[in-house]
């Protein structure tokens, strides 16, 4: 299987890194300029696909990457990236400084949810990143991409407290990682992504409202791809988050497992009522862990 690369305006490349050996699961981005940058690297198992995609674009070295947050589907492969590309620096929230050189704690936390076997097989073992290759991101940090182009970091908590979004001033694209939610082919609506331990409704809505004040042409998300109609999608995400919060608030008597089943049934019914085709609904269902959503929703300060 070959990773698919899609070129957008102003030399923004979307790279499908075939997460879990499946297309349409995880997008990384490469902004080509006189001083280019990679956004997200994907999990360890996607590293060969990432390299082959970059090779096919004629890119032999990448000096830096900006990571939206410290979840392993976004950053798991960084140890391999730093080893392969000379003088590569990874820009990430300061928690990365603590966890990337010694990834055991990160690994164990995720293994507790997904199991170690699942994690090893699907996302792959993490290689430690030398501390000297890690740079800390701050809100408002600007990457100079050359040619009068910059990429600005925007602190974006709510999905995770270590989350940043990146705004490209030239293409007017906001790269939002997991802050917006999930959009799978060929859905033109957003499904919330509200995992434990950090999901917080008020914080996430504030982040989304702040982002909607920017001048935007496109939204790039991790799961999956670049989308038009940014303001509609942000509104859609905000409405859906509140619907999910209220739905789960109304079923306190159910166990997490029962509540997850109910949430999934309700979301499916809603999609059917909206006349969304079965293929799209099944894309969303296969790529969603509803029990994790319940943990996130019940943990948060709602
Ligand atoms: Zn993710």
Q: pLDDT digit string (tens) for 196-222?
A: 999 999 999 999 999 999 999 999 999
* Cα–ligand 1 centroid distance for 148 (angstroms): 31
Look at 274 and 46; give whichever has higher pLDDT. 46
Looking at the structure, tell me whether residues 188 and 252 fall in a common domain.
no
Looking at the structure, tell me whether residues 130 and 270 fall in a common domain.
no
Looking at the structure, tell me whether residues 87 and 161 fall in a common domain.
yes
Q: How confident is the model at residue 286 (pLDDT cuts 50, 70, 90)?
A: confident
> What tens digit of pLDDT does each residue of 82-111 get?
999 989 999 999 999 999 999 999 999 889
CATH number of the domain bearing residue 215:
3.60.15.10
* Closest alpha carbon to 218 in 164, 180, 161: 180
Looking at the structure, tell me whether residues 43 and 92 fall in a common domain.
yes
* Cα–ligand 1 centroid distance for 224 (angstroms): 9
Looking at the structure, tell me whether residues 147 and 267 fall in a common domain.
no
* Cα–ligand 1 centroid distance for 147 (angstroms): 31
Looking at the structure, tell me whether residues 156 and 279 fall in a common domain.
no
Looking at the structure, tell me whether residues 275 and 152 fall in a common domain.
no
Looking at the structure, tell me whether residues 254 and 214 fall in a common domain.
no
Looking at the structure, tell me whether residues 71 and 196 fall in a common domain.
yes
* Cα–ligand 1 centroid distance for 36 (angstroms): 23
* Closest alpha carbon to 198 in 177, 218, 216: 177
Tally the domains of the chain: 2
Looking at the structure, tell me whether residues 39 and 112 fall in a common domain.
yes
Domain coverage including residue 155: 5-238
* Cα–ligand 1 centroid distance for 182 (angstroms): 9
CB 77 within 8 A of CB 47: yes
Q: Is the model's pTM score more than 0.85?
A: yes
* Cα–ligand 1 centroid distance for 25 (angstroms): 9
* Cα–ligand 1 centroid distance for 67 (angstroms): 11
Domain boundary among 208, 238, 268: 238
* Cα–ligand 1 centroid distance for 222 (angstroms): 6
Separation of alpha carbons 75 and 82, rounded Å? 11
Looking at the structure, tell me whether residues 145 and 291 fall in a common domain.
no
Looking at the structure, tell me whether residues 228 and 293 fall in a common domain.
no
CB 190 within 8 A of CB 290: no
Domain boundary among 191, 215, 238: 238
* Cα–ligand 1 centroid distance for 300 (angstroms): 19
- Does 113 have pLDDT greater than 90? no
* Cα–ligand 1 centroid distance for 168 (angstroms): 20
- Does 302 have pLDDT greater than 50? no
């Amino acid at each position: 299987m070959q990773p698919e690369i899609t070129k957008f305006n102003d030399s923004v490349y979307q790279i499908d890194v075939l997460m879990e050996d499946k297309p349409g699961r995880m997008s990384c981005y490469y902004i080509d300029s006189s001083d280019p940058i990679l956004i997200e690297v994907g999990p360890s198992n996607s590293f060969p696909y990432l390299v082959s995609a970059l090779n096919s674009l004629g890119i032999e070295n990448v000096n830096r990457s900006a990571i939206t947050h410290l979840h392993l589907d976004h950053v798991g492969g960084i140890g391999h990236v730093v080893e392969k590309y000379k003088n590569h620096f990874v820009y990430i929230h300061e928690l990365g400084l603590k966890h990337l050189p010694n990834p055991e704690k990160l690994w164990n936390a995720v293994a507790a949810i997904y199991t170690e076997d699942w994690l090893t097989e699907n996302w792959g073992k993490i290689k430690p990143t030398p501390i000297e290759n890690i740079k800390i991101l701050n809100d408002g940090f600007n990457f100079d991409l050359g040619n009068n182009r910059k990429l600005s970091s925007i602190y974006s908590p709510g999905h995770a407290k270590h989350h940043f979004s990146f705004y490209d001033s030239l293409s007017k694209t906001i790269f939002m990682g997991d802050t917006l939610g999930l959009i799978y082919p060929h859905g033109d609506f957003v499904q919330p992504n509200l995992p434990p331990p950090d999901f917080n409704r008020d914080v996430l809505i504030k982040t989304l409202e702040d982002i909607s004040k920017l001048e935007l042409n496109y939204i790039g998300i991790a799961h999956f791809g670049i989308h038009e109609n940014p303001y509609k999608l942000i509104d859609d995400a905000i409405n859906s988050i509140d619907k999910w919060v209220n739905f789960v608030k109304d079923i306190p008597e159910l166990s997490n497992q029962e509540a997850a089943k109910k949430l999934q049934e309700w979301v499916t019914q809603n999609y059917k009522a909206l006349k969304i085709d079965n293929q799209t609904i099944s894309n969303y269902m296969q790529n969603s862990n509803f029990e994790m959503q319940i943990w996130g929703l019940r943990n948060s300060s709602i």
